[in-house]
Amino acid sequence: MKLILLFIPLLLSQVLLAQTGGKTAFPFLNNAFSASIASLGGFSNATSDDANNSGIINPSLINTNGTGIYSINQGILASGINYGQFATLLKLKKGYLLPNIRYIHYGKFNGYDENGVATNNFTAFDYILGLSYCYPVNKVISIGISPNIIGSQLETYNSFGISTNFGATFTHPNELLGLSIVAKNIGYQLKSYVPKNKSSLPIDIQAAISYKLKHAPFKFSLIAHHLNTWDITYLDPTIKPRIDGLTGDTITITGASFGEKLARHFAYQVELGGKGNVNFSLGFNYNRRQELKLEQRPGMSGFSLGLGLKFKKFKLDYGFVIYSKAGFSNTIGLSAKLGKSKKK
């Protein structure tokens, strides 16, 4: 508890300097590395039963559900890009500890010098070494902190940084309603690719509310993200005003409306299955849809789907994310219980 309070000044100073995508270092910090989180639009909610994965994003969500379980996730993108995550949950005398590793490998690239002459091939990758800790204050409130070491390698160039997530969760005694808040990626870039050109981290303050139906296996969640930045819309600077073919009037480029700016901050989740052996999940990330959809053929851009199969000793998860008509990702997760875990 004292450790978390010591980090509050750092949190406030970083939030005041927060920026959104395209202007920050280590944007992969906001990637969904697990199948279950990917299937929900890339966000954790407030009453998670998947502590090994959701606890990495919001450490206050860690609970006994994942004790003694080792989880591995592997995802594939186009052009040989792959990413993954490994985590295991440990129960301490006071609280829970969740060591984790996340990475993205971008494959091999052909190297060329300034004259276009071929040189040696090279690789590029990013990684995050994390350690999430959750402290249950009482039966309904828990708090957590997750410090991370961040690294990025591109050929012979590299960059390093540190970050921390802070979270707090309230779970109603009936376990049907949950409220949660998390401040993500509070930290610094210690070393940049280019000397004296450091950037801020992609800070994201999120709030979530989740509700499980009492007599039906449904859970609904509403996520509000980037609460630290009002306008998260992206206006392409290369787009120029157009001339209307009928009237000859100039069509100027205008910014987003109030309603559009507000809508960009919300994501939606529906889960079906509860504590059953088969679970389905659906997520919708409106901001992702607006940023990546093809104007003439938006399709299912921004939607994500998932399937979970529970067995006696392990669980399989699958997450499918639709970025646009031209791109999607597949992530598979395996969680296995090795050995006997002590019940709370």
pLDDT digits (tens, 9 = 90+) for 262-289: 999 999 999 998 777 999 999 999 999 9
Domain boundaries, the chain: 2-111+119-337
Reading the block at residue 278, the tokens are 């088969």
pLDDT value of residue 11: 42
Predicted confidence band at 337 (pLDDT cuts at 50, 70, 90)? Answer: confident
**Interval 200-226 mean pLDDT:** 95
Predicted confidence band at 250 (pLDDT cuts at 50, 70, 90)? Answer: confident
DSSP E strands, the chain: 69-76, 82-88, 90-91, 96-109, 122-136, 141-154, 157-171, 177-191, 204-212, 218-224, 242-243, 250-251, 266-272, 278-285, 303-310, 314-324, 327-337
Contact 29, 147 (CB under 8 A): no
Q: Does 17 score more than 70 pLDDT?
A: no
Residue among 92, 73, 91, 93 nearest 83 (CA): 73
Q: Does 101 score more than 50 pLDDT?
A: yes
pLDDT value of residue 22: 57
> 186-206 pLDDT, tens per residue?
999 999 998 888 899 999 999
| Whole-number percent of the chain with pLDDT over 70 | 90
Centroid of chain to Cα 32: 4
Q: Does 6 score more than 50 pLDDT?
A: no
pLDDT value of residue 16: 37
Report the predicted TM-score, pTM, of the whole model to 2 decimal places: 0.85
pLDDT value of residue 112: 85
pLDDT value of residue 13: 39
pLDDT value of residue 14: 43
Pick the CATH number of 2-111+119-337 from 3.10.129.10, 1.10.3720.10, 2.40.160.40, 3.40.50.10810: 2.40.160.40
Measured over the CA atoms of residue 137, residue 66, residue 308 and residue 42, the dihedral's sign is positive
Amino acid code (one letter) for 143: I
> 102-140 pLDDT, tens per residue?
999 998 888 888 888 888 888 999 999 999 999 999 999
Predicted confidence band at 76 (pLDDT cuts at 50, 70, 90)? Answer: confident
Predicted confidence band at 249 (pLDDT cuts at 50, 70, 90)? Answer: confident
Predicted confidence band at 4 (pLDDT cuts at 50, 70, 90)? Answer: very low
pLDDT value of residue 8: 40
| Whole-number percent of the chain with pLDDT over 90 | 61
| Residue 6 CB partners (closer than 8 Å, separation 6+) | none
CA atoms within 13 A on the CB side of 298: 8
pLDDT value of residue 340: 59
Mean pLDDT of the chain: 87
Give the C-alpha separation, 50 to 43, whole Å. 12
Tell me how far CA of residue 151 lies from CA of 20, 72, 125, in angstroms: 20, 20, 8
pLDDT value of residue 1: 46
